[in-house]
Amino acid sequence: MNLSWMAWTQPTAIFFIVIFCLLITMSIWEKISPGGGPRVGILRFETTRGDRLFLSLLGSAFIHLAWLLFAGSNLWWAMGVSILYAGFVFSFV
């Protein structure tokens, strides 16, 4: 399989590996403890941990795209910002 069309840098590979591991972890967690712990956060609607993971991943994608646009191809800082963003989402949303 030829994957040369994608810029597989180390941060890009780590980003996708982390997403894969998060999805596996959340699947196992949902199997063990169904329901997702719904709660109402700052957005004022009920979210489960799966919803919060989706919002975190979606936001992380936009953070990385914006970082590429404004700061260049060094994505390590974007990953750090994404982790902080995910912590915020899981804490307050």
What pLDDT does residue 1 have? Answer: 62
Report the predicted TM-score, pTM, of the whole model to 2 decimal places: 0.76
The pLDDT confidence band at residue 88, using thresholds 50, 70 and 90, is very high
Give the per-residue pLDDT at 35: 77
pLDDT at position 3 is 65
Buried-exposed string 52-89: b where 16+ CB fall within 10 A, e elsewhere:
bbebbbebbeebbeebeeeeeeebeebbebbeebbeeb
The whole-number pLDDT of residue 8 equals 76
- Span 2-10, mean pLDDT? 73
Q: For 14-36, what is the mean pLDDT?
A: 87
